Amino acid sequence: MNILFLNGPNLNLLGQRQPEIYGRTTLADIEAMLRQQAAKAGVTMDFRQSNTEGELVTWVQQARGAFDVIVINAAAYTHTSVALRDAISAVAVPTIEIHLSNIHSREEFRHRSLIAGVCKGQIAGFGENSYYLALQAALQLKSA
C-alpha cells in the first residue's frame, strides 16, 4: 500500500505560524512521525507540500495508478479550489480530507470545503493527530 500525503499553502510554516491554532510541531516533525508509523504498518508513503494550486492539482492527477489513498490538507485551497475538487473527482483515488484546526468552529469562510463532497471523509480539529488518524483511516479503507 502506498499513501500520498499532500499539504497546501503556508503549511511549510507550521511551528511558527499561529501556534495557538496550529501548534508548535513542524511539518518535518509530522512527516518523520508519519514515516515511523507507516513503516510499522508496512506501508510506503510520499509526503509533499506546495504553496501553488497547480502543483497540487498535478500531484493529484499523477496519483492515479501510483497511490492507493490520498490524504490532503489543502489548507486555504480547501475553501476556494474548484480545480482541486475536479482533480480529486477525476482520478478516483480514495481521498481523505484533513485539517489541524476545526474549520467548523472558526471563521465562517472556513466552514465550507469545496473538496469535502468528493472525499471519503474529513478529519479536522485534532492538531497533528489529524494526520495520524488519517493514516489509520487510510489503512482501514484499504482493508475494507
Rounded to whole angstroms, the Cα distance separating 55 from 119 reads 19
Q: Which is nearer to ligand DQA, 78 or 95 (CB)?
A: 78
CA distance 99 to 23: 12
Among 100, 115, 137, 138, binds ligand DQA (CB under 6 A): 100
Q: Which stretch binds ligand DQA (CB under 6 A): 32-40, 59-67, 88-96, 99-107?
A: 99-107
Report residue 133 CA to chain centroid gap: 11
Residue 22 catalytic? yes
Q: Which residues in the 20-49 window bind ligand DQA by CB under 6 A?
A: none
Rg over CA atoms, the chain: 14
Determine if 99 is a binding residue for ligand DQA (CB under 6 A). yes
d(CA 4, CA 94): 11
Residues that bind ligand DQA (CB under 6 A): 10, 73, 75-76, 78, 99-101, 103, 110
| Catalytic center residues | 22, 99
